[in-house]
Chain A
């Protein structure tokens, strides 16, 4: 395994987790906003 392989794996882990984390935070924020707006309507 060369340095290029390790760099590729590192980038893949970083990019993949960025995708998951941003999607998770986005969905969490969207859910919270929806709850808050529902409360306000009540």
Chain B
């Protein structure tokens, strides 16, 4: 149990958790339609839409990941990693939101179904479901539980993750969006208060610059340039993030979706900076002896901000941190559940499924996704490696076919969708297995690196470079399928549909 957390803080956390379950009961509607359950009836207000967008994307994996990167590498975490993601969000706002919302889709695999048929959408549904398993969030929730309550990570993740599961099952996206709004406010306010206090506590940035290595204040750090590009490329996943798509589909109209993404992007930028600043300040707190030197980079931000905040505010901050994890768990399990019901059960098992059937199977799917996420979460030592792998899989599999479905106005065939998904998936699996066989594990970077020489020049291929090989394979599969396949005829896409 943390030394910096007082009884009043525990009371605040308890009240907060009780409130979440109450909201689930409030949003519960016995006879809700599928669209009510999964898209909140496409009637969310703009504040709710912004809150649910921001808080779902911003999970503990990013909170810990960005602060850990800042702790280890400094400003690079903001300028080399976070900003590239934000650029892709702007692309979605200006070029994709209109196409996605106008076509009245319900899920990401449905885009594939309308463009290439059910076989391709089934592969997309499996990729989407695997991507949406709440693995990293449950793992991180367990770690936070250890720090806050002093309980075993398995029990902590089970209890707190179980609360998120309960209100998601009860109220669907409406409950998720209401809780996200409250969670989002908590996250914003506590981070906004905690980080400046921490920076002040360590003597401001003048002291921080003197306490940390000089490389920490280089905009792109000391990371190899190709690795930097690989990190930035992994941000491509936001362009096909099933959970973000669900929020766009749930908007009242395309304009509301675009405005919500733009507002969210500004909020993400400020949030990202504060987390990065907090990570660097945490390192300064360690080097200057304020915090113990055995603090793990993963936990440094959490421990340092809790240290800087006064009693009472620490409780709100920790509730905000729990909120960060729970808002990601609820959002992603809901999408994974809908992948099982709408994108697998409906097309493959029961094409004439009623709304009640879909809601029932979605709830079963939510439980399956949560359970799978929980089981997988504690099987891996390095959770970030798993996160990067899952992100690479979904990007390699559905990035090309989805973007082609939305932007390529020419011919599209069933085979092009299948080959694009299949080539992407096969190449990513081959690449990962191959790297683990021929590459050498590097302890410093925590990844496999394959080094070789050609004509006197030395080259290195990192496991993180997977997308450089897999995306071209997926694109090649698309073009080959388009040459040899027969044209697929379905409902029109990208804003032409009603």
Contact = CB atoms under 8 A, between A and B. Distances in A.
B438 interface: no
Interface in A10-40: 11-16, 18-20, 22-23, 25-26, 29
Given A15-B274, A19-B184, A8 B189 contact: no
Contacts of A4: 205, 277
A8 to B, nearest CB: 5
Given A22-B184, A22-B185, A8 B192 contact: no
A35 B452 CA distance: 70
B192 to A, nearest CB: 3
Contact of A8 (B47, B196, B267, B269): B196
Contacts of A18: 188, 267, 270
A9 B192 CA distance: 8
A12 B185 CA distance: 13
A7 B192 contact: no
A1 interface: yes
A22 to B, nearest CB: 5
Given A2-B204, A15-B192, A26 B271 contact: no
Contact of B192 (A12, A25, A29): A12
A5 B205 contact: yes
Contacts of B140: none
B48 A12 contact: no
A18 B271 CA distance: 11
Nearest to B269: A11
B324 to A, nearest CB: 13
A33 to B, nearest CB: 9
A11 to B, nearest CB: 4
A20 B181 CA distance: 11
Given A5-B199, A8-B273, A19 B192 contact: yes
Nearest to A14: B270
Interface in B268-308: 269-271, 273-274, 277
A8 B195 contact: yes
Contact of A22 (B51, B193, B209): B51
24 contacts: A1-B204, A2-B206, A2-B209, A5-B204, A11-B269, A11-B270, A11-B274, A12-B270, A13-B192, A14-B270, A15-B270, A15-B274, A16-B188, A18-B267, A19-B185, A20-B189, A22-B47, A22-B51, A22-B181, A22-B188, A23-B181, A25-B47, A26-B51, A29-B45
* Closest A-B pairs by Cβ, 6 of them: A19-B188, A16-B192, A11-B270, A23-B185, A4-B205, A19-B185
Interface of B: 45-48, 50-51, 181-182, 184-189, 191-193, 195-196, 199, 204-206, 209, 266-267, 269-271, 273-274, 277
